[in-house]
Chain A
Amino acid sequence: MNPLGVAGGVLQAVVIVGGAPLVVGLMRQIRARLEGRAGAGVAQPWRDLRKQLRKQPASPRGTSEIYRSAPVLLVATTLVVAVVAPFVTTASALPAVADLFVVVALLALGTVMIALAGIDTGTAFGGMGASREVTILALVEPTVLVAIFALSVRAGSTNLSAIVGSVLDDPARLVSPASLLAAVALVVVIVAETGRLPVDNPATHLELTMVHEAMVLEYAGPDLALVELGSAMRLSVYLGLLANLFVPWGVATGPGVAALAVGVAAFAVKVTLLAAALALAEVFLAKLRLFRVPELLAGSFLLALLSVTTAYVLV
């Protein structure tokens, strides 16, 4: 555990917790402006969180500890990823945890907890949302693993910091077929995992069409604030991973306040640009029929598989 890793870890946590709701606000604002609406402003998600945190906690009768612990676990697992993965600096506070498999497992754990909480409410919507979410999760997780694994082949390590570092050492490999295929596959699964169009519509009020929202319909007050914060953090974490795996420049590799400052700025710019691109694309998209979603995800898995294959074949 080196001092840079600790400092970077704290910094990453602060940046992601503070910035994630702003990223969501930015995406909503971009969409509003492109649709000709004024929009609520970039800071609106933070205002919503403040409002919800002040409310009295309430949970449905008959729910168990799973329901109450899921929001905390969702935020906690995402926070661990935010601390250890290479976002601002490649020096990780806990290098052993900054591993591809650990990070993916942590993120999946949060999703599974929310799905279990959805079932725990005993409502039809909770169960329905959980069923859909797990269907999507089962198709998404292998794709994430395989796609990032393709990138780890060259680096010779599944440690995310090592992968990012190796790209910095040899930028030419970014234009390799393996890398490009993995990038496309990752974009698709990030869209699915974070509940964006065309897989899920985060703006709808129609319970029967929901995936993520259906599971968390019963949450209110501070619990809802945690769920929303956790969801926002997951979006930023996924976008940050995508950014640093394929465009790692700016990430701090050595000690120094200036390097860390550059790292923070570069991370913020990259995530903002990716989020803006995602919001822009969403304006032109419509939501797929639910039964077409597996086709889309199967396609992305195929790309990830091809990516691994080419990583071994086209050395």
Chain B
Amino acid sequence: MTTFAEPAPPRRARLTLTPGELPGHAAELLDQGFRLALVGGHDDRPAGGGLRVVHLFTDPTTDTRTELHVPLDPATPHVPSLAALSFPAGRFERETRDLFGIVPDGHPLPRRLVRHFHWPRGWYPMRSDAGPPSAFGDVDGPYPFRTVDGAGVYEIPVGPVHAGMIGPGHFRFSVVGETVLKLKARLWFVHRGIEKHVEGRAPADALPIAERISGDTTVGHALAFCQAVEEATGALVGADARVVRAVLLELERLHNHAADIGALCNDVGHGILNAHALRVREQLLRVNDRVSGHRLLRGAVVLGGTATVRLPDPAELAGIAADVAEIVDLALGHSVVRDRFAGTAALTQQQAADLGTLGYVARASGLTADARFDHPTVAGLPRHPSRVDARGDVLARFLIRAEEFADSVAMISALVARPAAAAADHDQPQPARGTASGVGIVEGWRGTIVHRVELGPEGTVRRLKVVDPSFLNWPALPVALTGSIVPDFPLVNKSFNLSYAGNDL
């Protein structure tokens, strides 16, 4: 009988800094290979404090999580901008400014990001004294799109309402002939106030909300939230439950990747493969239903464990994987489909790294970021070296999904075959109770999801900050698209398949 050494608990470090000290520490961490995983604003005034910014850095090689806390004076909340050090930092700072009014000094692009055009000026929805959403008031002033000059350049505005069943987003193409010179995506049309909504709730009441952040990432967000709360409360999660959670996470990856593989074929007009991919997806949803009682796995992850009926049958999944492999072979064997995929909208490895991309977008461009291995919760998962030629084009993003589908099925088979652990022996050691803050890092099907939770003394959620991979991946889409042609945009967009809901909380 094989036994698996449990992964060591993540190492946590926490520093409280003055605003002036922040850039030096951040630069040092980034130089050591840390990734800026999350920046969250905090309003501690109800607890007798001021405003505060928390920067969470994670190290993929040692699973170290370092938090830099910067308390701020509520009267003049200013922090020095880190945008020159890290592109994601600049995005997080704009978000924090829009929601908390915390101003990043020296930001190269101090424009609104998540603020809706019609929010009243000076209204910061995440502050404790923000009150209920006020009526749309004074608009924030004009925010024109940058116009591209030149002979024959014209603009194509698309959205925010689209023909398909997707979220709202406005795309402004500057085009000459059919070639895209510049694309500007403007999102954040439906701020739902999710982070505000969970404040003051008991974690068990907040979980159903976290689970619904993005409809296709039920397990990813629920698990990240549970991990964060469990770390904050010091709750132990048995080895068996962690194995089942890993299985659920892969099941979610399977049905989403199957749908994407079909949708990519459909977007080049090869509908027959989409029909088959949708058939496969339906089989997977039925597997989900048998495993958890819900086709999209809602309610399967609970605080401290899981609530599943049974484990999936590896033989059935192997049959489905064979079907998917055949669909992929048929797609790649079709010369027109291959021609449409290959070389379209390449994102170079350098670009992917600079933008801080995650998930299959990053892996298709040759990066290795994967929280399943960088921040493990289950021991003994073999990291497959990617077999995909990392050119960062649509073909690479198609192939990486196909590869991950096969790997996920293999992973589920290995996990399901594990003997039940003698519960107490394999419990993952947890930090001592009472830190009252916790971080959950999960490789959702789109990429790394990070939740950071702070609990109040009575055990309710005082602050939840959520980072969906789409927040970091959206800027990669216009970069990859530059130089492509307009009719290829829907295909390129589908190859990224970014979430509007996960991006706009």
A-to-B contact residues, CB < 8 Å: 31, 34-37, 124-125, 127-128, 197-198, 201, 203-209, 283-292
Contacts and interface: CB of A to CB of B under 8 A. Distances in A.
Interface stretch (B111-119, B220-228, B334-342): B334-342
A292 B276 CA distance: 27
Nearest to B266: A204
A208 B489 contact: yes
Interface stretch (B5-13, B267-275, B370-378, B470-478): B267-275
Contacts of A207: 158, 163
Given A208-B487, A287-B268, A290-B487, 6 more contacts: A31-B271, A204-B269, A207-B163, A208-B489, A209-B490, A286-B265
B164 A206 contact: yes
Interface centre among B334, B336, B339 (most CB of A within 10 A): B336
Contacts of B490: 206, 208-209
B339 A128 contact: no
Contacts of B156: 124-125, 128, 208
B336 A37 contact: no
B154 interface: yes
Interface string B461-504: 00000000000000000000000011111100000000000000
B485 to A, nearest CB: 6
Contacts of B155: 124
A30 to B, nearest CB: 12
Contacts of A286: 265, 268-270, 334, 336-337, 340
A285 B336 CA distance: 8
A144 B275 CA distance: 35
A301 B33 CA distance: 59
Give the residue among A285, A288, A292 with the most B Cβ atoms within 10 A.
A285
Interface string B147-158: 000000011111
B178 interface: yes
Contacts of B275: 35-37
Contacts of B489: 208
20 contacts: A34-B272, A124-B155, A128-B486, A197-B269, A201-B269, A204-B269, A205-B163, A205-B164, A206-B490, A208-B489, A209-B267, A283-B272, A286-B269, A286-B270, A286-B337, A287-B268, A287-B269, A289-B340, A289-B487, A290-B485
B294 interface: no
Contacts of A198: 269, 336
A247 B158 CA distance: 46
A288 B337 CA distance: 8
Interface in B123-151: none
Contacts of A203: 269, 271
Given A206-B163, A208-B487, A35 B158 contact: no
A303 to B, nearest CB: 20
Contacts of B488: 289
- Ranked 9 nearest A-B pairs via Cβ: A287-B269, A286-B270, A35-B275, A124-B156, A206-B490, A205-B163, A201-B269, A286-B336, A209-B487
B290 interface: no
Contacts of B270: 285-287
B242 interface: no
Interface residues of B, number: 29
Contacts of B158: 207-208
Nearest to A200: B269
B272 A287 contact: no
A35 B267 contact: no
B166 to A, nearest CB: 11
A286 B487 CA distance: 14
A291 B269 contact: no
A205 B494 CA distance: 14
Interface in B316-350: 334, 336-337, 339-340
Contact of A124 (B157, B178, B339, B485): B157
Contacts of B78: none
Contacts of A209: 267, 487, 490
B107 interface: no
A217 to B, nearest CB: 9
B212 interface: no
B269 to A, nearest CB: 3
A134 to B, nearest CB: 13
Nearest to A289: B340
Contacts of A288: 336, 339-340
Contacts of A35: 271-272, 275
Nearest to B163: A205
A200 to B, nearest CB: 9
Nearest to A217: B163
A127 B163 CA distance: 19
A200 B173 CA distance: 21
B186 interface: no
B184 interface: no
A206 B158 CA distance: 11
A291 B178 contact: yes
Nearest to A290: B487
A205 B272 CA distance: 16
Contacts of B340: 286-289
B271 A36 contact: no
Given A124-B154, A128-B156, A198-B269, A287 B163 contact: no
Contacts of A206: 163-164, 267, 490
Nearest to B336: A286
A289 B178 contact: no
B170 interface: no
B279 A36 contact: yes
Interface string B366-407: 000000000000000000000000000000000000000000
Nearest to B269: A287
Nearest to B157: A124
Interface in B421-440: none
B480 to A, nearest CB: 16
A207 B272 CA distance: 21
A81 B382 CA distance: 68
